[in-house]
Structure 1
Amino acid sequence: MSYAALAGLFLLPPLAVTALAVLLRRPRARWWLLTAGTIAVLLVLTIVFDTVMVAVDLFRYDHSLLSGWMIGIVPVEDLAWPIAAGLLLPSLWLLLTPTEER
């Protein structure tokens, strides 16, 4: 299985939870802005720290399983994890917090 396929499978549950949260709770613009900001920060941190870890050879990728798209020396497939976390946690908070407490 390629890294892109694994990343795609990993993103499916967070996307489903986000869709459910949006349909049931109809979040305001502030929620969207904070969620997008969180994802942006996580993406920047992932790119910076993955670059360092790959550069110092802490881990390697099987290049035959990569899509070929890179940001510096970081494969784009690595960005699925911060996107998943940045979507899943705010969506769960939205679903699990009573409306009057939000």
Structure 2
Amino acid sequence: MFLELSFCFLAAAMAIFAAGLAASKQRLRTVIKPLGAALAVMLVLTAIFDNLMIYAGLFGYGSGTLSGVHIGLAPIEDFFYAACAVFLLPGLWWLLGAGRKDAS
């Protein structure tokens, strides 16, 4: 259940990213390396801190709604939140005009 929902949110975040990229008139090849670096950092941090928090007993998950795929103790669904943020935030930044050079 959560895996399918996660894919929907990731698709929406990527659509907003694509729209923002088009609105900013930037090329994908100019942002692909920083985007990849941000994605890698976010996924590594998610793996570290989610596993630590789950291990410490700060929260847990019911097994009925998860896919069953884990990285350590963290379910794979947790990693979609980080990926969504990496695509959604720059897309919104560009769409709202903050990333434009001519914006005052």
One fold, TM greater than 0.5?
yes
- Letter paired with 1:15: M
- Letter paired with 2:89: L
The Cα RMSD (Å) is 1.9
Report the count of equivalent residues. Answer: 100
TM-score (norm 1): 0.83
Go from structure 1 to structure 2 and tell me whether the alpha carbon gap of 1:3 and 1:28 turns closer, same or farther (over 3 Å shift). Answer: closer
* Equivalent residue, structure 1, for 2:8: 9
Deviation at 1:100, TM superposition (A): 5.5
TM-score (norm 2): 0.82
* Equivalent residue, structure 2, for 1:20: 19
1:30-45 matches, within 5 Å, as: 30-45=30-45
CA contact (8 A) 1:35 1:90 kept: no
Higher helix proportion, which one? 1
Gaps of 5+ in 1: none
Deviation at 1:30, TM superposition (A): 3.1
SS at match of 2:27: coil
Deviation at 1:99, TM superposition (A): 4.9
- Letter paired with 2:20: A
1:1-102 matches, within 5 Å, as: 2-24=1-23, 25-95=25-95, 96=97, 97-99=99-101
